[in-house]
Amino acid sequence: MTAKDDRWVVVSGAGGALGSALAAHHADRGRRVLALDQRFDPAKAVPKGITSRTVDLLLEAEVSRAIVESLGAGEGISLLINAVGQIWNEPLLAFRGTKLATHSLDTWRSVTDANLTAPFVVATQVAARMVRHGGGCIINFSSIASGGNAGQAAYSAAKAGIEGLTRTMAIEWGPLKVRVNALSLGFIDVTTTRDAVAKGRLQRYTEKTPLGRLGRLEDVIGAVEFLASNDFVNGAIVKVDGGLRL
């Protein structure tokens, strides 16, 4: 994506900590941003340059309608930042009193919906618009949990799925001038991470990270800018984890 590209940037999961920061970053640089999510904080004002739409990201018709109504028929999309997702912790088996309980099927479905199905729905709807308007770039969000992480079966499975989906999209859509890559994030210092990971555990991960710190929003923004601007990167899974999984 070049500085002269006046096509839209779409951010899914724009109501979350990462998504909202990425939407604001691009709006601050004069890019027109369509922010999509199932909910937004009503107490936060929408920054200038951002069009926000509350939409069920699991429903193709709703996502398509939000794009058409916000952009009209003739506007293109240069970049999709597919940041929708949900961190979830739940063991496959756990003792509850004297009983051995299994991972809930309902939470399995909700977590895989949020982390795999919703990104799939948004990406396919946006890619169709990109193909009609000269191509574009899609950036999905994976996690170091994609390699497997105790207590995060559904989340890990969904993120592994995102990586396979990203590579498949890159193979199929590359000839159509749509590049698809993913960021595999480590522990980023945002409210959702601190809410999902106990303080002591987060400190242990910080100590294990060769750089000795959590990731920052600017680390993620910089990685997004790299993938958006380099036209020869396609199908890559870029780790942004401080070296935690070396």
Domains and CATH numbers, the chain: 8-240 (3.40.50.720)
Task: Indicate whether 5 pLDDT > 80.
Answer: no
- pLDDT at residue number 73: 83
- pLDDT at residue number 4: 61
Task: Indicate whether 2 pLDDT > 80.
Answer: no
% residues pLDDT > 70 (the chain):
98
Written as one letter, the residue type at 65 is R
**How far is the first Cα of the chain from the last one, in angstroms, to the nearest whole number?**
30
Nearest alpha carbon to residue 56 among 104, 15, 7: 15
Q: The tokens of 192 are what? A: 């959702």
74 Rama class: left (phi>0) / alpha (psi -120 to 50) / beta: alpha
Quick: pLDDT tens for 223-246.
999 999 999 999 999 999 999 987
Nearest alpha carbon to residue 173 among 240, 215, 139, 128: 128
Task: Indicate whether 140 pLDDT > 70.
Answer: yes
Sequence-separated (6 or more) residues with CB below 8 Å from residue 59: 121
Return the residue matching tokens 């000795």: 212
- Residue 224 near residue 191 (C-beta atoms within 8 A): no
3-state secondary structure 70-97: HHCCCCCEEEEEECCCCCCCECCEEEEC
Question: Nearest 5°: phi and psi at 55?
Answer: -150, 145
Task: Tell me how far apart the alpha carbons of residues 109 and 107 are, in angstroms, rounded to a whole number.
Answer: 5
- Residue 37 near residue 46 (C-beta atoms within 8 A): no
Per the prediction, the chain carries an average pLDDT of 94
**β-strands 136-143, 99-102 pairing:** unpaired
> 10 Å Cβ neighbour count for 201?
13
- pLDDT at residue number 212: 95
Active-site amino acid positions: 155
Nearest alpha carbon to residue 33 among 44, 24, 41, 42: 24
- pLDDT at residue number 111: 97
% residues pLDDT > 90 (the chain):
85
Quick: pLDDT tens for 61-90.
999 999 999 998 889 999 999 999 999 999
- pLDDT at residue number 217: 96
Task: Indicate whether 34 pLDDT > 90.
Answer: yes
Task: Tell me how far apart the alpha carbons of residues 169 and 153 are, in angstroms, rounded to a whole number.
Answer: 24
- Residue 142 near residue 223 (C-beta atoms within 8 A): no
Q: What is the mean predicted confidence (pLDDT) over 19-31?
A: 96
Q: In the structure, what pLDDT confidence band is assigned to residue 128 with cuts at 50, 70 and 90?
A: very high
- pLDDT at residue number 98: 86
